[in-house]
């Protein structure tokens, strides 16, 4: 059995499937998905449906909430949030739902997602943790939104654990560098900007938790 983490799928279903094929995911493995399934890419509904299919087929998948799921949920309840969500990729998400808001089943799934998960040696969260708080686990908002926090980590509090997160897109070389420095700074950002057509970005990153390797899959959804 092996453990894998992927973040920021952003509607890129074909890239997701190609990445799973490349790592050869099997039913003993654990797949952790760190949020932002929707928005920007072409097939947000397809990404969530693929996760449900994997679960139905007996794969072990654990999913976290990202800020884009939160924006979508807030957009359904608060008229101030709706234009913000639509501008940040929500339009593409609506496109994948036949130019409608996501249906109740998909919304309920998003609503129920946890903000963090723990697995031996790791804390997993979408954006990161707020070490300005006495107990970083109490700031759920930071888990969805925080940026530029990694220099503030409290190693004593982490007690040997590594934080794996996404949310802030990085280039391939930045992610490789991050991996090389993992012994010095126990924070791993695995968002390789799958949905962005920009130099160095446009990849999906699979992090292998047990041997601390990465596999990159170039975008297949464009
Ligand atoms: Mn995000």
d(CA 92, ligand 1 centre) in Å: 16
d(CA 109, ligand 1 centre) in Å: 17
d(CA 36, ligand 1 centre) in Å: 6
Which residue in 74, 90, 72 sits closest to 11, CA to CA? 90
The band of 219, judged by pLDDT with boundaries at 50, 70 and 90, is very high
Q: What is the mean pLDDT of residues 48-67?
A: 98
d(CA 22, ligand 1 centre) in Å: 24
Rounded Cα–Cα distance for residues 142 and 64 (Å): 14
pTM of the model: 0.98
Collapsing DSSP to helix, strand or coil, 205 comes out as: strand
Rounded Cα–Cα distance for residues 162 and 65 (Å): 19
Mention every residue, 6+ apart, whose C-beta is less than 8 A from residue 163: 122, 123, 124, 125, 128, 129, 153, 186, 187, 188
pLDDT at 76: 97
d(CA 88, ligand 1 centre) in Å: 11
d(CA 65, ligand 1 centre) in Å: 9
Q: DSSP letters along 86-145, please?
A: IIIIIHHHHHHTTSSPPPHHHHHHHHT--SEEEETTEEEESS---TTSSSGGG-HHHHHH
Rounded Cα–Cα distance for residues 170 and 166 (Å): 9
Rounded Cα–Cα distance for residues 52 and 11 (Å): 15
Mention every residue, 6+ apart, whose C-beta is less than 8 A from residue 23: 4, 206, 208, 215
Sign of torsion, CA 75 92 61 154?
Answer: negative
Neighbouring residues of the ion ligand 1, judged by CB less than 5 Å: 36, 66-67, 167
d(CA 21, ligand 1 centre) in Å: 24
Q: What is the mean pLDDT of residues 79-88?
A: 97
d(CA 135, ligand 1 centre) in Å: 22
The band of 148, judged by pLDDT with boundaries at 50, 70 and 90, is very high
d(CA 220, ligand 1 centre) in Å: 20
pLDDT at 153: 97
Pairing type for strands 116-119 and 60-63 reads unpaired
d(CA 8, ligand 1 centre) in Å: 7
Q: 3-218 adopts what CATH topology?
A: Purple Acid Phosphatase; chain A, domain 2 (3.60.21)
Rounded Cα–Cα distance for residues 44 and 56 (Å): 19
Encode pLDDT of 110-138 as tens digits: 999 999 999 999 999 999 999 999 999 99
d(CA 17, ligand 1 centre) in Å: 20
pLDDT at 128: 98
């Amino acid at each position: 059995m092996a453990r894998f983490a992927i973040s920021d799928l952003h509607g890129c279903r074909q890239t997701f499937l190609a990445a799973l094929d490349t790592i050869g995911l099997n039913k003993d493995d654990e797949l952790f998905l760190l949020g932002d399934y929707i928005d920007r890419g072409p097939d947000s509904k397809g990404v969530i449906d693929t996760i449900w299919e994997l679960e139905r087929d007996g794969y072990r998948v654990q999913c976290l909430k990202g800020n884009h799921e939160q924006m979508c949920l807030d957009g359904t309840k608060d008229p101030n949030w709706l234009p913000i969500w639509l501008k940040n990729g929500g339009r593409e998400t609506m496109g994948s739902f036949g130019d409608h808001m996501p249906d109740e089943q998909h919304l309920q799934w998003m609503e129920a997602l946890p903000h963090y998960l723990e697995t031996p040696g790791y804390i997993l969260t979408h954006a990161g943790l707020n070490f300005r708080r006495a107990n970083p686990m109490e700031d759920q908002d930071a888990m969805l939104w925080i940026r530029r926090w990694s220099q503030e980590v409290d190693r004593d509090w982490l007690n040997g654990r590594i934080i794996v997160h996404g949310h802030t897109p990085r280039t391939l070389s930045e992610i490789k560098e991050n991996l090389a420095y993992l012994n010095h700074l126990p924070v791993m950002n695995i968002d390789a900007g799958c949905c962005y057509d920009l130099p160095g970005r446009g990849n999906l990153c699979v992090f292998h938790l047990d041997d601390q390797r990465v596999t990159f899959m170039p975008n297949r959804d464009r």
